[in-house]
Structure formats: structure tokens, C-alpha cells
Structure 1
């Protein structure tokens, strides 16, 4: 389990290195640099333990920001879908029927953001109050 986590972390670090340092184009070079960085971490944290705390805080802040952005996008899509369903005069039952037919779910809350976006687009392009023409 720990080996899998280390492998995944190393791969993420390699991908980051390749994306941030244009001169590094091969996996071998990225892996070498990632190994050097990982090998130096214990000394770095021993000499400057506050770096770990700062890095952890930054990672948590980024995660919180990402979650907030997803939440806002989700709420925005749900509100826009509500507006379009009202425009079409769809009932909840009609919406559920469409979701079951095209997505295999009974609730919008079971859809991904991409699926919600697709459902909204479908509603925006629909002129009929009858679902699933």
C-alpha cells in the first residue's frame, strides 16, 4: 500500500516537473529529478520544519478553493436547470423520466458536472414542454 502511494506521488511529481520545466522532456530525466527531490526532503524538513507546515497549509487551501469552485459550478448548473425546466413547464416527474432514460439515474444530484452541463444544454435547446421527443 505504501509503495503504491509512493509510486503515485512520484508519478505526480514527475508530471509536475515535466509541465514546469520545458527542458525536461523524458520520463527518465523527470524520474531522476523527482528521486533527488524526494531524497532531499528529510534533510530539508529537519533543517526547516516550518516548510512542511506551510506546504500542508497551501495544499489544504488549494483543495478548499477547488472544492468551493466545484460547489459553485454545481449550484449554478442546478439553478440554471431549474430555470429551464420552469421555462419548459416540466414537472419533477418529467425531469426524472428524462434522467432515467438518458443517464440511468433518478436525480440530478447523481450526475457529474459534465452530465449536468449536458442536461442543461439539452434543456436550453428544447422548445417543447414534452420531454424526450
Structure 2
């Protein structure tokens, strides 16, 4: 499943980023950077595939990237959830707590499309600034 590969790729890259860039200490910042990097990979591969030959030879990344398909619906849901969280004045920590309580995950990128859609619907239907009523 593309979303599983995406979540695994982001998770691997987040860990790598936090190790290689000590200034990035929060999961939120590492997740944003990892997402941006992964989203740009198809274009970068097309522009200059020779640069990435070493990356492609690494087993972990080769499997993740080979399966990676950036799903427009997935990204659209993430953006809509961001908008709703801003509307409710939820912090990233509050969103993470909600995900942990109801989905047993820490990141939206670990959710399926159906789970993301349900989370978005929940946000759209609530006016509560408290994520865990």
C-alpha cells in the first residue's frame, strides 16, 4: 500500500534527519522536512538520476522509494486537517494526543486514507478547542 510505504519512508527519514541534524529536535520539524524531501524525490530523480545511484543502492531506501507514490488525496487530507486544527486552535501536541488516544499513532502519516478522512470529519464537526473531550 502506497500510504504504508510513505509512512515508512517518512519515519526512516525523520530518524535520519534527527541524527544528522542535531538542531532539529522536534518530531514535528523532522516530519515536515522528511515530507518535503520525499515529495521532491520524483522530480530530483528525473532531473539527475546519477546523483542518487548511491541512495538507490541502499536496501532500506530502495524498497521504500520504489513503492513510494505520493497520493494527492493523502496530501489533500493532510492540508485540510491542518486547516481544521488551525480553526480549532489546536496545537501539534494536542493533535498528536488525539491521534494517540483514538488511533494509537503519533503521526497522521501513519493513518490510512479512511482514518485520515474520519479524523478530518471529526475536526469539521467539532467546535471544541479541547481535542480529548
Normalising by structure 2, we get a TM-score of 0.48
Higher RCO (CA 8 Å, separation ≥ 6 residues): 2
Compare CA radii of gyration and give the structure with the larger one.
Answer: 1
Normalising by structure 1, we get a TM-score of 0.48
